[in-house]
Amino acid sequence: MESKRQQKFARVIQKDLGELFQREGNNLLPNTMITVTKVRTTPDLGIVRVFLSFFNSPNNEVAINTIKAHTAEIRYNLGKRIKDQVRGVPQLEFFVDDTNEYVDRMDKIFTRIHKDDEPE
C-alpha cells in the first residue's frame, strides 16, 4: 500500500510526464500517441516505475525500447518541470502497460464461452 506521500508524488510525475510526452512524444515516436497509464514509486521516492500505453504503434516492444534509450533526456526534461516541487529527480523505469490487451483477450474468451453455452 502506497503512502499518501507516494501517491501525491506519483500524481505529480504522471501529470508532468503526460504533458511531456504530449509535447515531445512525436519527436521520439512519430505518429504514435504515448499515454502514461500508471506511476508507482518506491517509499524513498528515488525510483519511479512508469507504465506506458502506445496508440498507433506497430510494435510496442520497439516503442518501449526507444523510450528506454531516451530515459536520460526524459529525466532531464522532467527535472526542469518539477524542480520546484521535489528535492531530487527520481530514476525512471519504463514498462509497457498491457492492461488493454489483457481486457481484449478476456473479452474474447467470455464471448467464446457465451457462444458455446447458447442452445442451438
Cell representation of residue 14: 504522471
| Single-letter amino acid, residue 83 | K
Assessment of whether the complete model's pTM goes beyond 0.75: yes
The per-residue pLDDT for range 9-19, each reduced to its tens digit, is 999 999 999 99
* pLDDT digit string, tens, across residues 1-59: 889 999 999 999 999 999 999 998 889 999 899 999 999 999 999 999 999 998 888 88
End-to-end CA distance of the chain: 49
Match 504515448 to its residue by C-alpha cell. Answer: 34
Count CB neighbours of 35 within 10 A. 14
* Of 49-58, 69-78, 87-96, 103-112, minimum mean pLDDT range: 103-112
Q: Which three cell numbers stand for residue 8?
A: 501525491
